[in-house]
A and B are shown apart, each in its own frame.
Chain A
Amino acid sequence: MLNYIIKRAVLTVVVLFIVSFITFSLIHILPGDPAAAMLGDQATMEEIEALRHELWLDRPFFVQYGHWLSNALQGDFGKSIMYRVPVSEIIAERLPVTLYLSFLSLILSTFIGIGAGIICAIRRGSLIDQIVSVVANAGVAVPIFWLGLLGIYVFGFTLEWLPLQGWTSPFDDFLKSSKQALMPVICLSVTGSSIITRQTRSSLLEVIRQDYIRTAWAKGMGEPRVVFKHALKNALIPVVTLVGLQLRVLVGGAVLTETVFNIPGMGRLLVDGALAKDFLIVQAGVLLIAVMVSLANLITDISHGWLDPRIRYD
């Protein structure tokens, strides 16, 4: 297992290098000058040229990339063009917000998804199975930003149950923070819980047709014991993979949710960074997400081994 983890760590480094190069290339291909964008409509060419020099934008592409990479390896991601403070400082402010919302929605979507999937599988063909299946299909299809705006209109504006938008740290005011986080977390969870529901249902249906489950029934075991002790553990292997993959979906969702609900997280930072051509923000943000996704994939792989001892990585 240790060898496997080391191999994966080395591969992750290679992946991160490739990701950083592709991101750097893409952001430089986009039309528009970051220095001009930063200085505004009234800036003179002298001002723009001076800033371009300061940001190393007047150097050849590979020199710029090398400069960025050598600084990044020393933990210096540069100074944001948009915010004029070190990128690492901004990310340190924004990352906990996105992680907090993503973590809550991951838990929520996993619990709802697995719970609903089990109910649908053991009550296959029933009214509740049909209703949940329809809702789950709709949940996969519904755009998050639309759901967010609808939620704001219904629960915030019309019913006045929840705040329309905004962000408060749970350490500052837990109640206010919870109220503000409720709608974004639900919106972020909808797609994930729908996918997990469908996967759990189909996976569990496949497992409960197996001989060893039939044997368990024949031995006179109760339904909870058959489902939870014997069927679910095997049925969960693809579900765990899916939960691991949800991290990517959550990052994508965060971009929309944070924009709609006015939350200062990583998603909104990346959108603003891309629009303002703040390549230092985008570069560091994408790299960080790549690290997180790589780690999530590693944890997912390791948990497969725990769920099914037959799986070996050496």
Chain B
Amino acid sequence: MKKLTIILIFLLMFSFVISGCGDKSSQTSEPAPSQTSEPAPVDQSPKPGGTLKLFVSSVSNIGFPSTMGAMSDGWVSSVALETLFRFDLQGNVVPLLAKDWKADYEAKTITIMLNKGKGIKFHDGTDFNAEAVKWNLDTYRSSQKPELKKVTSVDVVDDYTVRLNLSSFDNSIITYLTGNAGRMISPTAFENNGQEWVEQNPVGTGPFQFVSWTKDVNVKFKRFDEYWGGKPYLDGVEWVFYKDQLVAQMDILAGNLDAMAVPDPENMKEIETTGKFNTVFTNDTLQPVLMPDTKNTNSPFAKLEVRQALSYAIDQETLAESIGMGYFRPQNQLAQPGTWGYNPNVAGYPYNPEKAKELLASAGYPNGFDTTLTYFAYNKTVTDSVTALQQMLKQVGINAVQNPVTRANYIELGNKGWDGLLRVHLPSSPDPLVTLANFSAGQQYVSMYVPDEFVQKFDKAVNEVTFEGKQKAVQELMSVVDKYAIWSFLPEERTITAKSKRVQDDWYGEMPNRYINPMVWLSE
């Protein structure tokens, strides 16, 4: 018995020792985790605190949507100024400050119901309601901005319902309300302080409240505790200005910055090799195209065969691989694969220099011709891409002289006209009708000929009431662009965002308009 007691005590002590030395997993029936060099898995429960630091190059107005110019104005302000609608990760329009919407094609109205049960308030304590929405939409309409031109008036139906009366039906209006046209600011803040003040001090309903804007240094926002969507986890969001991309890159590698868009794929490769960052893409990327001066009857590009030859001469695969280092994608239409507007039947113009030469010969240019290739040289990737493109065009006989211009000059050429080819970066939206609207109206890129069929199909698409009808019409529109070779596609320059692995549930860099999830949190 004594011997048995000693053995039992020994076994008991041994089991204690074993259990004390073991980790938690060994105390359960689950297998012990294997030893790898991977970092320990992040605790997935959200943690409060911390400031999210994001890169931005410049802004000029972060508080008054009617006069916002650069896209970055909207991105920076978005944490404070929410929109009526937003896109989801698939590019569908979903409500944000709105609850729902209803279109009436016959009556030419769109009725928007607001989130009334949430008690939404602006950061200055005033109520967000139908009157505030009407004031915002009327203010935007009174500016020169084109998005709400078809809205003739806005009626307040009740405290939480507004009705948009239209001159002609346009289903893109809801899409426009995901952007600056639908960005809501406090009317009281405007009336008390004036436009100049509001441009510098955003007062909205967003999860973060404006703190300060030190020009060319940073814009700081702090948590808005009364946020209608729940108390945000972060203490704040800070946008940090950088003039030099290289310095910003060193700062993110040093851990001083949480996320930045990296325009140079070569730099992105370097960042990726550290293994400390996630690489994400958004589906509202820049879509570069070569826009010919087709309206000029003396231009070789006025002939369809020449435009087709131009497209056949471009080796998109090589450009995407060499200049885009695999981050860029060849494209043959504005809608991207996987989105609702994408037409799988569009064949495009796969690289075929021999065919390009044949087409040029049949158009009366057997020896090719000289032209100008004008582009806004905003980064190294663009200049490298244009140089490669120049060589490709030369191979089929199109001798393009490079003409790099400044941003101001590029915009002016788009509005007033150009000779030869203009490299245009189309600010693509998940809804292609938004991108195409200005072409249809002939407001921008005035040297480009817009076929009647394009205008008819566009009008049909914006008039569709059902989603299915709109989808079909947009896909037909993609075919029309292809049929007339209205422009030549270059590889899609996807916005690559490098993001620290500590940033959780943020959607930044994945969601269109750089929308940030209010419930973003930092794991450390």
Contact = CB atoms under 8 A, between A and B. Distances in A.
Nearest to B61: A84
Contacts of B243: 259-260, 262, 268, 271-272
Given A43-B69, A268-B243, A272-B216, A32 B250 contact: no
A131 B389 CA distance: 50
B427 A41 contact: yes
Contacts of B46: none
B253 A47 contact: no
Given A164-B247, A164-B251, 13 more contacts: A31-B412, A36-B412, A36-B415, A38-B60, A84-B196, A84-B199, A149-B244, A149-B247, A152-B250, A164-B250, A262-B241, A262-B243, A262-B247
A260 B70 CA distance: 23
Given A37-B407, A260-B244, A32 B412 contact: yes
A157 B217 contact: no
A156 interface: yes
Interface in A151-200: 152-153, 156-157, 160, 164-167
Interface string A24-46: 00000011111011111111111
Nearest to B216: A264
Contacts of B200: 84-85
Specify which of B241, B254, B427 lies most central, judged by the most chain A CB atoms within 10 Å of its CB.
B254
Contacts of A166: 217
A262 B408 contact: no
B262 to A, nearest CB: 17
Given A36-B408, A43-B69, A262-B243, A82 B60 contact: yes
B155 to A, nearest CB: 26
Contacts of B146: 42, 44
Contacts of B443: 44-45
A164 B216 contact: no
B145 A83 contact: no
A31 B60 contact: no
A40 B70 contact: yes
Contacts of A268: 216, 243
A24 B216 CA distance: 25
A50 B145 CA distance: 11
Contact of B415 (A48, A50, A260): A48
Contacts of A165: 242, 247, 251
Contacts of A287: none
Contact of A83 (B143, B215, B247, B414): B215
B519 interface: no
Nearest to A160: B254
A93 interface: yes
B438 interface: yes
Interface in B114-147: 143-146
Contacts of B69: 38-40, 43
21 contacts: A31-B405, A31-B406, A31-B408, A32-B408, A33-B409, A34-B408, A36-B408, A40-B70, A41-B411, A43-B411, A44-B145, A44-B443, A46-B144, A84-B199, A90-B215, A149-B247, A164-B254, A262-B216, A264-B216, A268-B216, A276-B407
A86 B242 CA distance: 23
Interface of B: 58, 60-61, 67, 69-71, 143-146, 196, 199-200, 214-217, 241-244, 246-247, 250-251, 253-254, 256, 405-412, 414-415, 427, 438, 443-444
Interface residues of A, number: 47
Contacts of B196: 84-85
A277 interface: yes
A293 B412 CA distance: 36
A47 B246 CA distance: 35
Given A40-B69, A44-B443, A275-B406, A260 B247 contact: yes
Contacts of A32: 405-412
Contacts of B253: 157
A56 B369 CA distance: 42
Interface string A262-279: 101000110110011100
Contacts of B414: 41
Contacts of A47: 143-145
Interface in A210-225: none
Interface of A: 30-34, 36-48, 50, 82-85, 90, 93, 149, 152-153, 156-157, 160, 164-167, 259-262, 264, 268-269, 271-272, 275-277
Contact of A33 (B71, B247, B412): B412
A261 B244 CA distance: 8
A79 B19 CA distance: 73
Contacts of A157: 250, 253-254
A44 B144 contact: yes
A39 B251 CA distance: 30
B411 A36 contact: yes
Given A44-B443, A50-B144, A264-B215, A31 B241 contact: no
A37 B215 contact: no
Contacts of A31: 405-406, 408-409, 412
B411 A33 contact: yes
Given A42-B427, A43-B69, A259-B244, A33 B408 contact: yes
Contacts of A44: 144-146, 438, 443-444
A129 B145 CA distance: 67
Contacts of A272: 58, 216, 243
A54 to B, nearest CB: 11
Contacts of A83: 60, 215
Nearest to A32: B408
Contact of A84 (B60, B410, B427): B60
Given A32-B409, A44-B144, A167 B60 contact: no
B122 to A, nearest CB: 22
Specify which of B144, B200, B444 lies most central, judged by the most chain A CB atoms within 10 Å of its CB.
B144
B495 to A, nearest CB: 15
Specify which of B69, B407, B412 lies most central, judged by the most chain A CB atoms within 10 Å of its CB.
B69
A285 B311 CA distance: 46
A-B pairs with the 9 shortest C-beta distances?
A32-B408, A47-B144, A37-B408, A32-B409, A40-B69, A36-B411, A264-B216, A31-B409, A33-B412
Nearest to A89: B215
Nearest to B409: A32
Contacts of A41: 411, 414, 427
Contacts of B247: 149, 152, 164-165, 260-262
Given A83-B60, A84-B196, A262-B241, A164 B405 contact: no
Nearest to A40: B69
Nearest to A48: B415
A174 to B, nearest CB: 17
Contacts of B143: 47
A45 B242 CA distance: 31
A82 B215 CA distance: 11
